[in-house]
Amino acid sequence: DPFHETKQHVPCLAHVMNLAVQAMLGKNGLHATAPRESISFDADDDACPNADDDPMGLINTGLAEDDADADGGEANNTPTRNPLVKLREGIVKIRTSPLKLDKFKDSSGSHLVLLLDVRTRWNSTYKMIEHAIRLKDAYVRICNVDDDLVKYSLQESDW
């Protein structure tokens, strides 16, 4: 029989592996971040910068104040227990607030920024953690001095 592309689709192995890993992580409550449509800019902070000032797409990637945490707690008052979820949500808060992002950059003294993982990029969670470890001191400092970020601080054993 000849090959029929519509009937005999061969999926990309890397994509299949990504889906398998995402399913495994999902069973442990370690999902990658939600799609961009479900998250919003932190309206309590400075005005949203121009899109031209945002070449990396950092605007509109934060959790809304009333969004629930991935581990089931409310973002406003229940601390997150899972270190990966705490790190991810802390990164979202820092990246979506121009004031917090400026404070973070000043504190880090580096051109590196905290990365946020994406469901469809199989290595993005690894890259997010790798960058967070490189910028650990700045992340710890900003979480300790900013009242909005205290709930996202990580213990030494979490790193």
**114-134, pLDDT tens digit by residue?**
999 887 787 888 999 999 999
**Structure token digits, residue 65:** 């104040």
Q: Is the distance from CB of 134 to CB of 113 less than 8 angstroms?
A: no
- Tell me how far apart the alpha carbons of residues 118 and 35 are, in angstroms, rounded to a whole number: 8
pLDDT greater at residue 88 or residue 37: 88
Whole-model pTM: value is: 0.59
Q: Is the distance from CB of 12 to CB of 117 less than 8 angstroms?
A: no
Beta-bridge partners for 74? 68
**Residue 90: pLDDT band with limits 50, 70, 90:** very high
- When mean pLDDT is compared over 24-28, 71-75, 120-124, the highest value belongs to 120-124
- Tell me how far apart the alpha carbons of residues 45 and 98 are, in angstroms, rounded to a whole number: 7
Q: 3-class SS at 29?
A: coil
Closest CA to 65 of 81, 85, 41: 41
- Tell me how far apart the alpha carbons of residues 134 and 152 are, in angstroms, rounded to a whole number: 17
- Residue 18 confidence (pLDDT): 77
- Residue 130 confidence (pLDDT): 94
Answer yes or no: is pLDDT of 140 > 90: yes
- Residue 42 confidence (pLDDT): 45
How confident is the prediction for the chain on average, in pLDDT? 73
Q: Provide the 10 A C-beta neighbour count for residue 54.
A: 14
Answer yes or no: is pLDDT of 65 > 50: no
- Tell me how far apart the alpha carbons of residues 137 and 45 are, in angstroms, rounded to a whole number: 24
Q: 3-class SS at 74?
A: strand
